[in-house]
Structure 1
């Protein structure tokens, strides 16, 4: 059974997206395996994808572009907070999505690299690190989204080696929807890698400790992301024709036209948000 997307407004974000992270930064030289971080880039490559993606996926790609830009230089192992934050923002904008536990195998020809996540129920430790992995099923768009696939060591090394595409989120169209997604492995090719997913929503409850602790931080970060995503969509409308969007998505159309409004972002962020934002900045 699908998790109730209404809960996403109460679900956690360990590392919400601060506006300061959207500033352009020079590329970080080298790669430190003892302190693995995503590459630093001046502009997310998702901006180009936003300009050319099918119009019906623009809201999803806009949210992902904002997230990806904010992840520049961030520490790895942020799949849980990023996916829950995206789900929260998408719900504010009128879209259905579901965070799902997942196991991902990465192949390179005959080479089987280490996997992301575990088969079965993941463990969330006392410090809220985990051996698990999560992805986002974007129901409204029929896509499986892995915004943090670049945390995989092989892809991360390739990204730091100059293969910028390996740092980008992965979006996989799934014909047949959720039932097809859960029927078996879903694969994606990102040369020279093949990534195979086993989606395990029956084990997503393993991450419920996040839901208990980080609810206020999630709501603040997710709502902030929703506001920023609206701005990104408006920006995309300056470079491409998005007149179809209000007909496709009435809630989004009303928000863009000013007929409806998102809740205001609180001027004072929750105390836990400040603590977690500092953790994201330092990588501790």
Structure 2
């Protein structure tokens, strides 16, 4: 039976850390944080004081979180079953449960093959969309739009990965749905995230750097004022698109501006865990390869 440390994971999210960010603070691998939260291993004694400080808890509170291990087997939610039978009765409690389900699936994304997550994610996304369509106007419907933006983005990622980046049409349809939902509630971060994912499809799936450039620029504009890290990531892909188009100066300018944005990002930035130094090196190297090819040809 799979196990988990639910309180530990919840506390990490409460202080605004992704698994990647917490690992960076502690100087360890992200997979180590995942193993702690799945109750597969325990933090070594010398790491525990630093972990407690990062989570803003006392050593005793941390010990309680580590001792509290639960079954990770999904449990049937009777309230959700009732609401699905009478969708106009959907309320904030059910919406919060669906948001937690989506967040749990998002956290699984980095450690579970996409093909294995598709069924559960598809079911959850379908439930969110169905209830949103039937919800009375007001706060509940707005909250469901926000959850739908996240679940649609996740579905786009999963479909693209599981199809080995071949099913561009379905992937883009999910990202478009995410953008539409995000705009309903003026969620700039969710909209920018989906726009950025669309730029990936244009750059790496369709091999269309012109469209990729426009989409990455749009993501950077939308994320401005919301997430410097997401702006920086978008600008890195703006630079890569310019490199594909053999536009050296524009590429260098975008990469430089991206670095400035990363410098402005703080631990509370919602995209702080989206991008790692390895990702930065990979994209910078890709730009140099494209521009290097131009130098050789000239």
Q: Shorter-chain TM-score: which interval?
A: under 0.3
Please, what TM-score do these two structures have when normalized by structure 2? Answer: 0.22
Structure number with greater Rg is: 2
Which structure has the highest strand share of the two? 1
Which structure has the highest helix share of the two? 2
User: Which is bigger in relative contact order (C-alpha 8 A, separation at least 6)?
Assistant: 1
